[in-house]
A and B are shown apart, each in its own frame.
Chain A
Amino acid sequence: DTEVTQTPKHLVMGMTNKKSLKCEQHMGHRAMYWYKQKAKKPPELMFVYSYEKLSINESVPSRFSPECPNSSLLNLHLHALQPEDSALYLCASSQVWGLNTGELFFGEGSRLTVL
């Protein structure tokens, strides 16, 4: 299994809603990532988890709250989002994270629309 699976594929939420994005991989990778991608732009790193520990937070607003329950799962909890947060949220994994990170395996993404 060389896939990163993300759910839901599409999500529409109001600014007062609380929702979560989920990501799962069964490749035994010990690093997992959240990226945000706006239309016609490159992926922007949000968070890095290494061995289930938050290792990088790229100054992401607190309305985005990541969680790594175990080595296979990564969640992104969303609360009180703004319309400008509408984007494609990509989860990725790699074998490890460190000085020689290597290939990132991306999920298909969750397309979020905030009304």
Chain B
Amino acid sequence: GENVEQHPSTLSVQEGDSAVIKCTYSDSASNYFPWYKQELGKRPQLIIDIRSNVGEKKDQRIAVTLNKTAKHFSLHITETQPEDSAVYFCAASIFTLIQGAQKLVFGQGTRLTINP
């Protein structure tokens, strides 16, 4: 089935602390897991992505971990800053038999607020 669950729906952390957002997916054929950040009134922008042949990927303060067996992946933001406040969407690639290609299914989003 096409389902990506994302938790929590809202998250509030103190500036400088870490934030973790978790997603689970249902399609065992999924092999691409991007994270998008959407600031208020702005476009979604890719912040990090991971493919299924890798368990972890890091880019400065942002990291993503993937557990294919458990079908879940997580976004970790360390040393949070006010500009990290936004809505974060996870996504998973879903293979479409009819078209023989992939499409992205997004999680419901997490509204992250960084308190100064």
Contact = CB atoms under 8 A, between A and B. Distances in A.
Nearest to A97: B101
Interface string B14-48: 00000000000000000010101000001111100
Interface stretch (A11-19, A63-71, A75-83, A102-110): A102-110
Interface string B75-116: 000000000000001000101100111111011110000000
Contact of B103 (A48, A90, A103): A48
Contacts, number: 58
Contacts of A4: 43
Question: Contact size class for A?
Answer: 20 to 34
Question: Contact size class for B?
Answer: 20 to 34
A106 B44 contact: yes
| Chain B contact surface mostly | strand
Interface of A: 4, 40-45, 48, 50, 55-56, 90, 97-104, 106-109
A57 to B, nearest CB: 10
A97 to B, nearest CB: 6
B109 A41 contact: yes
Contact of A108 (B36, B42, B101): B42
Contacts of B95: 99
Contacts of A44: 106
A45 B46 contact: no
A55 B99 contact: yes
Given A55-B99, A56-B99, A101-B102, A107 B109 contact: no
A45 B32 CA distance: 17
Given A45-B104, A103-B46, A104-B34, 11 more contacts: A42-B107, A43-B106, A55-B101, A56-B96, A56-B103, A98-B102, A99-B101, A99-B102, A104-B36, A104-B46, A106-B45
